[in-house]
Chain A
Amino acid sequence: MAIVNIPPLGEEGAVAQATAPSHFWRTPIDNIRNKKSLAWFGLVPFFLFLILFLLIPAISVFAQALHDEDGSFGFSAMREAISGQNLDAFIFSLKFSAGAAFVGVVFGGFLAYAAATAKRPRWLRNIVSSFSGVAANMGGLPLAFAFLSLLGRQGLGTKILNAFGWDLYAGDFKLGEVSGLITVYSYFNIPLMVLVTLPAIDGLKTSWREACANLGGSAWTYWRRVGLPILAPSLLGGFLLLFANSFSAYATARQLTDNSKIVPLRISFFLGGDISIGEDAVGYSLAAWMIILMGLSMAAYWLLRRRAERWSNS
């Protein structure tokens, strides 16, 4: 590399001059060996696996969904899947999923912050993070049973609340309705949010907080102009993840209730039920719409996560 006149500082044009172009050093053999297309062959087993056991089922769902009543190709089943009672179901599911996600984000966010900043005791953060690992993956039966025994009509918690004068079932509270589902789902949503948010909070460097103070900013200034904006992609991403998780949960819901306004339950009723050929296309359409909705949510989640990662590398 030739010695260049030290360029005026910070000019990138001069920087580019200072490095030799790398293609000078490549030989023909390297061109063949490093061909990217050959390297992709190594991923064939993985791609094959995904195609067989993820893609084909997914495509089959759509294949079945795009059937009209007479069995030919058409969109009528897809349309029906989002009208009438099916639409009610989607709206219901959207409502409680968004609610559960919101509760999860707020409480999970605070819990993550509390755990991340706790100096004493030292084992606190580890406990919170380990427990979150367990609870986030605790779906299904144990969770449903636990809440049935706590807040069911014969639940221990219900009885305790009665003793304080609060009749839980006086209103339209039911474990299978919106408020009940939000309560139950928070049990795995909050820990999931903690797991996703802890690394993001760790990524908030203390030097930012100190620099802000040094420049005359109060704690409020810091959160308003630096802290929350930086956390925003993670928080939003967390919301989307929790939303997708809540919307598609089946096992817990199944044990709690048979409310057919919960979309995954509704789908299973169509799948297992005693229904005519034309109707099952509607069931698959429900699943297809759910996949579309989840796809959009996860795509947004993915973009937000990439954004957050970019800042953590600055």
Chain B
Amino acid sequence: MTSLSFTGIRKTFGTTVALESLDLALQPGELVSLLGPSGCGKTTALRIAAGFEIPDTGVVSLGESVITDTPAHRRNMGMVFQSYSLFPNLTVAQNVDFGLRNRKVEKAKRNSRVGEMLELVQLGELGKRYPHQLSGGQQQRVALARALAVQPEVLLLDEPLSALDAKVRSTLRDEIRRIQSELKTTTLFVTHDQDEALAISDRIGVMSNGRLEQLGTPEDVYLRPASPFVARFVGSINELPNSNGVGKILVRPEDITISEDENELTMRGTVTRVTFQGPVTIISVRVDMNDQLVNVHAASGSIHAQVGDRVSLDVTPGRGIIEAA
């Protein structure tokens, strides 16, 4: 039994097609990320789930009920926006309390629930503060507490970390994952940051131009990209000429082996730069065949290459994806 699902969802804005035909089903308790560049349709999909956009065609369901036409304020979902979503005239506690009041929960239960949620996001002491007195990271925690207070069936997160500093981002990201898995809340997480998606998701949906390019676990998406777009968008990629001369082969830097041996079947090239990065060394090689620059990740210490050395490159069998010309 699935939780949130999209079936054949299509949405256009004027002449722009935001979503072509989205089919996506979330299992209860899982965290699915929608990953893609801006304009790919991920935010549109999220907003359709929340009820802020109406799809042109298609069905949105929650469990067994169809909710495509249910107004936003009657869907039992929690949403965390990118920024500025806390009500500035209410205190932190009043913000978290907001959804509970709308559902007419009685006062004693509301207070204890608010306390509970603030503890959950580790802001127990700040109930009486106003949003403008908090940092960006703290504000997003409150937004999270507020969304979760009403025990929503689905948690929707719209790039919640994009507006934050790098350091805050990684801490909060792990926080969100921890809370989500503790509460087992089905979650749809929209982001353009692949590190985020890879780190916290059960499954990732990579999107481009309104289409779902691949839906799979982080390993699937990274190690077995289903399309050249996915290969390029997630992680870094090298483009090597295909051995038969037609098209390209897209390979990850760590899937290329580098050696000083000479072999007529392998690709030859010259080392142009060696960058030490701690556990990994990046060796940049200019390939003879078409003068392209290739980056190879090698475990530091496993190979001693220097600028100007002649080396051979080979692709680890089974890795890489072919892109037709």
Write the residues of chain A forming the contact surface with B, with a CB cutoff of 8 angstroms: 6, 8-10, 205, 207-208, 210-218, 221, 225-226, 229-230, 310-311, 313-314
Which of B88, B90, B102, B130 is within 8 Å of A221, CB to CB? B102
Q: List 7 A-B contacts (CB under 8 A).
A: A211-B87, A212-B73, A213-B71, A213-B73, A215-B98, A230-B87, A313-B132
User: Contact between B131 and A314 (Cβ–Cβ < 8 Å)?
Assistant: yes
Report chain A residues within 8 Å CB of B71: 213
| Residue B286, interface by CB 8 Å | no
Which of A205, A215, A217 is within 8 Å of B146, CB to CB? A215
User: Contact between A208 and B102 (Cβ–Cβ < 8 Å)?
Assistant: no
- The 0/1 profile, CB within 8 Å of A marked 1, for residues 61-76 of chain B is 0000000000111110
**A230-B73 contact, Cβ under 8 Å, with A10-B138, A205-B84, A207-B81:** no
* Minimum distance in angstroms from A237 CB to a CB of chain B: 15
Report chain B residues within 8 Å CB of A10: 122-123, 125-126, 138, 141
Q: In the docked arrangement, what's the CA distance between A229 and B95, Å? A: 14
**A311-B73 contact, Cβ under 8 Å, with A211-B79, A213-B51:** no
User: Contact between A214 and B50 (Cβ–Cβ < 8 Å)?
Assistant: yes
Write the residues of chain B forming the contact surface with A, with a CB cutoff of 8 angstroms: 50-52, 71-75, 77-79, 81-90, 98-99, 102-103, 122-123, 125-126, 130-132, 137-138, 141, 143, 146-147, 150, 171, 175
Report chain A residues within 8 Å CB of B146: 211, 215
User: Contact between B122 and A8 (Cβ–Cβ < 8 Å)?
Assistant: yes
**A217-B171 contact, Cβ under 8 Å, with A9-B122, A205-B84:** no
Which of B82, B143, B150 is within 8 Å of A216, CB to CB? B150
User: Contact between A310 and B150 (Cβ–Cβ < 8 Å)?
Assistant: no
Report chain A residues within 8 Å CB of B122: 8-10
Which of A216, A217, A218, A314 gathers the greatest number of chain B CB atoms within 10 Å? A216
Q: In the docked arrangement, what's the CA distance between A211 and B71, Å? A: 13
**A210-B72 contact, Cβ under 8 Å, with A9-B171, A216-B150, A314-B88:** yes
Nearest A residue to B175 via CB reads: A9
User: Contact between B132 and A213 (Cβ–Cβ < 8 Å)?
Assistant: no
User: Contact between B81 and A210 (Cβ–Cβ < 8 Å)?
Assistant: yes
**A210-B150 contact, Cβ under 8 Å, with A10-B126, A314-B88:** no
Report chain B residues within 8 Å CB of A208: 84-85, 87
Q: In the docked arrangement, what's the CA distance between A311 and B85, Å? A: 12
Report chain B residues within 8 Å CB of A213: 51-52, 71-73
Report chain B residues within 8 Å CB of A229: 89
Report chain A residues within 8 Å CB of B102: 215-217, 221
Query: For the complex, would chain A's binding face be called helix, strand, loop or mixed by DSSP majority?
Result: helix
Which of B71, B86, B87, B175 gathers the greatest number of chain A CB atoms within 10 Å? B87
User: Contact between A214 and B79 (Cβ–Cβ < 8 Å)?
Assistant: yes
Q: In the docked arrangement, what's the CA distance between A226 and B83, Å? A: 17
User: Contact between A216 and B132 (Cβ–Cβ < 8 Å)?
Assistant: no
Q: In the docked arrangement, what's the CA distance between A222 and B236, Å? A: 46
Report chain B residues within 8 Å CB of A205: 84-85
User: Contact between A311 and B98 (Cβ–Cβ < 8 Å)?
Assistant: no
Known A211-B146, A314-B84; 5 more pairs at CB < 8 Å: A10-B122, A214-B77, A216-B99, A226-B87, A314-B88
Nearest B residue to A218 via CB reads: B73
User: Contact between B85 and A211 (Cβ–Cβ < 8 Å)?
Assistant: yes
User: Contact between A214 and B78 (Cβ–Cβ < 8 Å)?
Assistant: yes
Q: In the docked arrangement, what's the CA distance between A216 and B102, Å? A: 6
Report chain B residues within 8 Å CB of A6: 171
Q: In the docked arrangement, what's the CA distance between A313 and B132, Å? A: 7
* Minimum distance in angstroms from A294 CB to a CB of chain B: 29
Q: In the docked arrangement, what's the CA distance between A235 and B185, Å? A: 42
User: Contact between B132 and A214 (Cβ–Cβ < 8 Å)?
Assistant: no
* Minimum distance in angstroms from B304 CB to a CB of chain A: 33
Which of B77, B84, B123, B138 is within 8 Å of A207, CB to CB? B84
* Minimum distance in angstroms from A277 CB to a CB of chain B: 55
* Minimum distance in angstroms from A204 CB to a CB of chain B: 10
Q: In the docked arrangement, what's the CA distance between A264 and B213, Å? A: 73
Report chain A residues within 8 Å CB of B86: 211, 314
User: Contact between A217 and B87 (Cβ–Cβ < 8 Å)?
Assistant: no
Report chain A residues within 8 Å CB of B89: 226, 229-230, 311
User: Contact between B50 and A210 (Cβ–Cβ < 8 Å)?
Assistant: yes
User: Contact between A217 and B88 (Cβ–Cβ < 8 Å)?
Assistant: no
Q: In the docked arrangement, what's the CA distance between A144 and B99, Å? A: 52
Report chain B residues within 8 Å CB of A8: 122
Report chain A residues within 8 Å CB of B150: 215-216
User: Contact between A207 and B85 (Cβ–Cβ < 8 Å)?
Assistant: yes
Q: In the docked arrangement, what's the CA distance between A10 and B175, Å? A: 13
* Minimum distance in angstroms from B126 CB to a CB of chain A: 7
User: Contact between B72 and A214 (Cβ–Cβ < 8 Å)?
Assistant: yes
* Minimum distance in angstroms from A169 CB to a CB of chain B: 47
Q: In the docked arrangement, what's the CA distance between A211 and B102, Å? A: 12
Report chain B residues within 8 Å CB of A230: 87-89
